[in-house]
Structure 1
Amino acid sequence: MADRYDVQFVTIHGHRRAYVRAGSGPVVLLLHGLGCDHTTWDAVIESLSRRYTVIAPDLLGHGQSDKPRADYSVGGYANGMRDLLTVLGIDKVTVIGHSFGGGVAMQFAYQFPERTERLMLVSSGGLGPEVTPAIRAITTPGFHEVMGVLTLPGVRHLGIAGLRTLSALGWKSTRDFDEVAEVFDTFKDPAARHAIRHVVRAVVDWHGQIVTMVDRAYLTEEMPMWVVWGRDDRVIPVRHASQAARVAPNARVEVIPDAGHFPHKDHPYRFSRIVHDFIRSTEPAKYSRARFRALLKDGGESAAPVPLRAVAEIS
C-alpha cells in the first residue's frame, strides 16, 4: 500500500505505532478495518484535512505499526488509541471507525466518553453476528500454515492479479476485491498473519461476530452517532445499519447506493460531505459523570426499541 502522506511514529509501551496527521481544526480520528492500514482513508484525508485535524493510525499489528505478541482485543485497541491521543496532546475527537475499526470506535466511545465528541460507524462490525465466511475462516486451525503457502511469491502474485481482475469487472459481488488483494498481500508477513488471527479470534468465531454493542447502545443516548453503509456490502450486511438505528434511537443512518464495504473509497467526495454534515449539524457530546452513572444504573430498561429514525440514501 503506497503512502500519500508522511507517516510519523511514536513508541508507546515499547511498541512503535505509525500514524498520519494532516490539517488543522477539530480532531477526527480515523480507524481502519481488519488487515488494512491508514492508506484505506487516502481518498478522504485531503478533503477532510481542509477543515479538521485528521489522525489516521495504523492499529497495532497492522501496516507500519509493530506486530508484537500483545492484547488485540477491542478494549486493548481502545486503550491504545487513548494513549496515542494523549501522547499527541489531543483531548477530544470525533471518532470514525470502518469495519473492525468501527468496533474499536464503539469501544473507545464506551470506555472514554469524556474524550469522544461524536461517533461515526462505517460498515461496522459489532452490530450483528453475520460476517463474510472469509473472515470466519481466519479462526480455523491451519489458517497460518495455509496462508503461508498461498502467499509464497509466485502464488501470491497470481492471487493478487486474479483478485484485481475480478474487481475491475465491476460486478457488485467482486467490487471490493482490489482492497481484498491489498489485505491478502500483507499476509506474506508471518507477524501480520499472527496478529490478524489474534484480532479475529477476539471478535469472531465460526458462527460469526461474538462482540456486539447492542447491550450497551443505550449509552449513546448522550452522544451524536451516525452510521454509514454501502448498499452492496458483501462483507457485513447492510441490514446491520438498521439494527444500529433500532438499538440507538438517536443515530442517523446513511446508506450509499452503488457502494460496497468501503464506501469511503467508492464515493470519497460523498463520504467527506457526510462527515462534514455530521460535524456541522451536531454539538459535541458533553460528558457528565452523573448522567453516565444514571444511564448505567437504568441499564437501558427505560429505552424501548424504536423504529428507524432516519435512513438517508445519497444518489
Structure 2
Amino acid sequence: MAGRLDRHTEGGTSYLTGGEGSPVVFLHGIPGSALTWEAVAARMQDQYRVIVPDLRGFGQSEPPVGDYYMEGQARAIVDLLDTLGVEECTLATHDFGGPVGLTMMRLFSDFTARELVLSDTNLFTDTYVPPPLRVAKIPLLNTVFFQLMVGNRFGLRMLYNGAVKEKETASWSKFQRHLTPSGMAMTRRIFQRSLADLEANYGEIERMLTDIQSRTLVLWGDDDLFFSTGVGERTRAAIPDAELIVFDETGHFVPEERPAEVTAAIRGFLRS
C-alpha cells in the first residue's frame, strides 16, 4: 500500500484523506468502514485528493441523529463535502455505498458526481433474495435472525468466510477492523430494513438509473455471495454510459480483495 492517509473529523463524520488534485470520494458498504477503500485511496493520493468517510454509525463516525438509512447517510456526506469545499468529484462506492451515493445525486442539486464507480451493489427492487434472508419480511423472527447473522462477531465471521474469496489480501484480522459495536448494530439495522421492502427502499434508486449522466464504471467480483455477476451486467445495461469489469476469483469485497487491480481500473477509467 502507498503512503498513509490522514484522519480527521468534521461534524461527527470521521474520514481519511490525502493528496491533492481532482477529488475522489469513496463510500463503503455494510459491514464496512472507510478501511474498505483505504488501500485503493492510499494508492491514488499521488494524483488525486482522496476523501474516504466512515458512514454515520460506522468506523469512527458518530451515530446518526435521526435517519440512519440512505437519505440520512447521504445528507451527512454532502454536509461533509460542503465543509471541505467539494461540490464536484468522482464518486466511488461499494455495496450500500451505492444507493447512498445515488441518493446524494438524486436529492442534492448542489452536488455533482462527474464520474461514478459502482462496486458489488444492489440498485434494483427485484434482485434475487436467497430463501434464508426472506425471513426479513417476518415480524419478530427477522430481528432474531439478523441479530444472529450480522449482529455479532460469530455471525459476521461466517459471512466473511462465504463472502471473501481472496483471504490473503482481505484477511479476517483486517476485516475485523470494521466490526465496532456501533458498526455491527448499524449493519444489522440497515440489512434488515433493506430486505424488508425492496420496492419501498430501492424504487427511486432504480428509476433514476436511466437518467444518470455521469460516466460510470461498474466493478464486480465473479464469485460475489450476495449479488451475482448478472446484477453487475444489469447495472451496466441500465446506466447510459457505463462499462463493466469483472474480477476473477473475487468475492463481494472487491476493493479489499483486489486493491491494486481496482486502483488500476479506476485510474484507467479516469484517464480515458
The equivalences for 1:90-105 within 5 A come to 90-105=86-101
Task: State the 1:134 CA deviation.
Answer: 7.6
1:126 aligns with one of 113, 123, 127: 123
Counterpart of 1:116 in structure 2 is 113
Could you tell me how far apart the structure 2 residues matched to 1:97 and 1:7 are? 19
Given the superposition, is the C-alpha separation of residues 201 and 182 from structure 1 closer, same or farther in structure 2, using an over 3 Å criterion? Answer: farther
Contact 2:34 2:59 in 1 (8 A): yes
1:290 equivalent in structure 2: none
Partner of 2:249, secondary structure, is: coil
Larger radius of gyration: 1
CA contact (8 A) 2:64 2:72 kept: no
| 1:110 positional shift | 2.2
Secondary structure (helix, strand or coil) at the match of 1:142 reads helix
1:6 deviates by: 3.0
Q: Which structure is richer in relative contact order (CA contacts within 8 A, separation 6 or more)?
A: 2
Equivalent positions of 1:46-125 (< 5 A) are 46-112=42-108, 114-125=111-122
**Residues 1:175 and 2:165 are matched in the alignment:** yes
Deviation at 1:224, TM superposition (A): 0.8
Pairing 1:236–2:227 present: yes
Instruction: Specify whether residues 234 and 146 from structure 1 end up closer, same or farther in structure 2 by C-alpha distance, changes over 3 A only.
Output: closer
Of 191-200 and 119-128, more deviation after overlay is shown by: 191-200
Aligned residues: 260
- The list of structure 1 runs, each at least 4 consecutive aligned residues, that deviate by more than 4 angstroms after superposition, is 131-139, 143-148, 160-164, 176-188, 206-210
| Structure 2 residue 248 is the aligned partner of structure 1 residue 257 | yes
Deviation per residue, 1:205-248 (Å, 9 max, x gap) = 2889951532211211x221111101111122211111112222
> Unaligned 5+ residue runs, structure 1?
282-315
Contact 1:229 1:256 in 2 (8 A): yes
| Match of residue 142 from structure 1 | 144
Matched, 1:9 2:9: yes
Distance (whole Å) between structure 1 residues aligned to residue 155 and residue 149 of structure 2: 13
Amino acid at match of 1:204: L
Shift of 1:38: 0.6
Q: Please list every run of 5 or more consecutive structure 2 residues that lacks an aligned counterpart in the other structure.
A: none
Alignment partner of 1:203 is 2:158 = no
Structure 2 residue aligned with 1:217, among 182, 206, 209? 209
Report sequence identity in percent: 25
Q: Quick one: structure 1 residues 202 and 145, their matched pair in 2 at CA, closer, same or farther if it must change by over 3 Å?
A: closer
Matched, 1:31 2:27: yes
How far, CA to CA, are the matches of 1:132 and 1:183 in structure 2?
A: 24
d(CA) in 2 for partners of 1:227, 1:142? 34
Q: Is the 8 A contact 1:32 1:97 kept in 2?
A: yes
User: What is the RMSD computed on CA atoms of the aligned residues?
Assistant: 3.4
TM normalised by structure 1 equals 0.71
Q: Residue type matched to 1:217 in 2?
A: L
| Aligned with 1:43 (options 35, 39, 42) | 39
Deviations 1:66-94 (CA, angstroms, capped at 9, x unpaired): 12452122122211111000011112111
Paired residues of 1:67 and 1:192 also in contact (CA < 8 A): no
* Cα distance in structure 2, aligned partners of 1:40 and 1:214: 25
